[in-house]
Amino acid sequence: MDEPEPSSSSHWDEQLTPRILIVAGSDSGGGAGIQADIKTVTMLGGHPMTAITAVTAQNTLGVQAIHPIPTDMVVAQIDSVVSDIGIDAVKIGMIGSPETAEAVAERLSELHVPIVFDPVMVATSGSELADARTIAAFEKLMRTASIVTPNLPELEALGGEEAVLAHGCHLLVKGGHAEGYYITDRVLAPNGREITRLEGKRFDTDDTHGTGCTLASALATGLGAGMSIEEAFQQAVRFVRIAILAAPGLGQGHGPIGHNLGHNPYEQLEG
């Protein structure tokens, strides 16, 4: 496909709030994973729904424990929200196990909405979030996805740009792990053509926990709202950069970014 399909929901004309299904793991520290996804989708005007794949004991210093959710329960969560509320886009993050990766890919292949796959392998702290068998199972998820959003180490582990694009998906290459004063993020079509890119100066901060999750969720929200891939990409990158600047400075390690963008909307309400 040349571009992720907009929502094919029969209720789209009446559906003003994009419904975003998040398939990912929980971060007990609140900076990444499901918690970052929910905050991002909400801030961008969407309705977040979840299929939790794993529960982690996690903070800004690292991941202390991981408890995968049984595959049947992950699929049951997907079926529950799809059958009643419906969805306009999907974001996939930490997947939990190879069995879950295969089952999620099979279930999502039946849907006709944009699917954003963030192939999470390692947390910002350096802790591993996917073993070799799970990473190998990413093949099926990439074939199902509309767009895949790896950082540079993840892209290398997946075999490089050509290997990812061979699955027929778009590719958003996140440049944060490259050297240099500027960061370049690029979006490629399945045929390898560069659709768009954004460059921005690098911020000197360790408070970047959750940036990858946030970018993918913001992208899914834009696509679910009917934006073009260029518009959704620009909005997502801008949201992440502002959230980095608004980081609350929590924890002793890689702190979370500021999903509320540094302001409290309730301060504007009366009474």
Catalytic choice (40, 56, 144, 211): 211
Catalytic choice (25, 31, 33, 212): 212
Query: How far, in Å, are 146, 197, 260 from residue 6 at the CA level?
Result: 10, 21, 27
d(CA 99, CA 74): 11
Block residue for tokens 């958003």: 172
3-state SS assignment for residue 47: strand
Catalytic choice (30, 96, 210, 222): 210
Residue 161 φ then ψ, to 5°? -60, -50
Catalytic choice (25, 46, 93, 213): 213
Furthest-apart CA atoms within the chain: distance in Å: 57
Catalytic-residue membership of 192: no
Catalytic-residue membership of 210: yes
With 0-12 / 13-18 / 19 or more C-beta atoms within 10 angstroms meaning exposed / middle / buried, residue 107 is middle
Catalytic-residue membership of 174: yes
Catalytic choice (56, 71, 124, 208): 208
Catalytic choice (39, 91, 140, 174): 174
Block residue for tokens 């799970």: 134
Is residue 151 within 8 A of residue 126, CB to CB? The reply is: no
Catalytic-residue membership of 140: no
Buried b (16+ CB within 10 A) or exposed e, 29-44: bbbbbbbbbbbbbbbb
d(CA 236, CA 219): 5
Contacts of 103 (CB under 8 A, 6+ apart): 71, 74, 75
Q: What residues act catalytically? A: 174, 208, 210-213
